[in-house]
Amino acid sequence: MNVSFISLGCVKNLVDSEYILGLLRQDNTINVIDDISLSDVIFINTCGFINDAKKEAIDTIFSVINEKKDDAYIIVIGCLAKRYKKELSEQIPEIDLIVGVDEYDTIGEAINQLLKTSLPKTYNPLKRSLSNPLPVAYLKIGEGCSNKCAYCAIPLIRGDYYSYTKEQIINDAKRLISLGKKEIIVIAQDPTRYGKDIYGDNYLLEDLLKDLLMLDESVNYRVLYLYPDRISDQLIELFKNHKNLLPYFDIPIQHSSNKILNLMKRSGSKEKYIERIAKIRKEVDNAILRTTLIVGFPNESQEDFDDLKEFVKQIKFDHLGVFAYSDEEDTLAFNMENKIASKIAKKREKEIMKIQNEISFTLNKKRINEIHDVLIEDFDGNNYYGRSYLYAPDAEDGQFIIHSDKSLIIGEYVKVKIIDVTAYDVIGEVIDILP
Ligand code: SF4
């Protein structure tokens, strides 16, 4: 049976895809292929938390319907499947099976019923099938979110936050290391909540990171999605003192106006965020700061927006993503008054990115002549592309562009000197091939 698998959405969803691919591969009658037109079964792991993502998922489902063999099965899983199961089954009868993220504990049985396979009841996280051949992998440490930000549908889809056990996470990491992974990226909706629900204050994110860092000193760790109000001094201390914990701080701030932060139900304040950022920059050498912002949230006045622009100019983030507010049903914000016209929201999005473009270019120019250990990740026949600790492996950040007469190996680390820059990328030349 030929099976193909499409994974949409965030990296947390990607790890779910890897879990389910691992489950499928436990049945040796299943052969995973890329070609949808030759597949007997097509899995689509969907995202469903904002309108654009929902549209992408629906478009993907219809393109698969058009491309597939007549007798091929379509199985839709993931966040859209959880949030709109009834609507999907009523409005797209071509879908043969819908399994929401809340039904993964019996996904094997559901698939067996349709495909007459003999899969285990559900997946074993330690048998996940890794999607990235490069020495990079994601390590999920928890699920769901209890922050309940007013604009966000994730708690409606994924439920309240819960931590995975440290045993499961450590074993997952050991397996990744045994498979040659050199950069492990720690993720959850909110990693700063790690451990509290199952270990109280005895074992928190920094304790987990300490145990992970002890596994193999040739492996680097990166942590994404740090909730700004819960970055402890102990966590900053660990980043300061441990070279394998990459000094990369991904801190979604969302807004700077305290009025808007309160309406968004975001804990903390602009003053607290500035204090944490200042502490990170004082304590941790070469700290990289990334954030995401939302503009056009209901009640966002011109004054609030001016406040945000000033904040962006003051902080000078290394990487910044900004999104226009997406009106999501069943969220608190959906019923708020004073919605901002999407034309204005889009205009504000552009304004912030224009400011950030100049900031990023100025910061990049200061990097000329710096030397970095770069993981070579791609080659387009002319240039190689790669990342150092400066960049997380997702598009927003930027990358190294390297022209080399010597052929380089994808998946290898090389020493690169930055010789030129653009607003978001750096241009480098190889000065040494690392062992
Ligand atoms: S922290 Fe807020 S925005 Fe992020 S997943 Fe949780 S509820 Fe959504």
Q: Is the CB of 155 under 6 A from ligand 1?
A: yes
Distance 279 CA to ligand 1 centre (A): 24
Task: Report, in this order, helix, strand and coil percent for the chain, each rounded to 5.
Answer: 40, 20, 40
CB of 324 closer than 6 A to ligand 1? Answer: no
Protein residue whose Cα sits closest to atom 4 of ligand 1: 189
Ligand 1 nearest atom to the CA of residue 189, by list position: 5
Residue 435: predicted pLDDT: 67
> What pLDDT is recorded for position 432?
80
CA 189–ligand 1 middle distance (angstroms): 6
Ligand 1 within 6 A of CB of 159: no
Q: What is the CA radius of gyration of the chain?
A: 22
| Alpha carbon of 167 to ligand 1 centroid (Å) | 26
Residue 433 confidence (pLDDT): 72
For the sheet containing 245-250, what is the strand order? Answer: 136-140, 183-187, 220-223, 245-250, 288-295, 319-324
Q: What number does the ligand 1 atom closest to the CA of 190 have?
A: 1
pLDDT for 394 equals 77
Q: Does ligand 1 lie within 6 Å of residue 160's CB atom? A: no
> Is residue 326 in contact with ligand 1, taking CB distance under 6 Å?
no
Q: Which residues contact 243 (CB under 8 A, 6 or more apart)?
A: none
Amino acid 202 reads N
What's the rounded Cα separation, in Å, for the pair 207 and 180? 24
CA–CA distance, 270 with 86 (Å, rounded to integer)? 41
pLDDT at 27: 95
Stretches in the chain below the pLDDT threshold 50: none
pLDDT given for residue 56 in this prediction: 97
Smallest CA separation from ligand 1 atom 5, residue: 189
Distance CA 392, CA 373 (A): 14
Distance 190 CA to ligand 1 centre (A): 7
Give distance in angstroms: CA of 206 to centre of ligand 1. Answer: 21
β-bridge mates for residue 413, sequence order: 375
CA separation for the pair 52, 50 (Å, rounded):
6
- What single letter denotes the amino acid at residue 411? G
Distance 254 CA to ligand 1 centre (A): 10
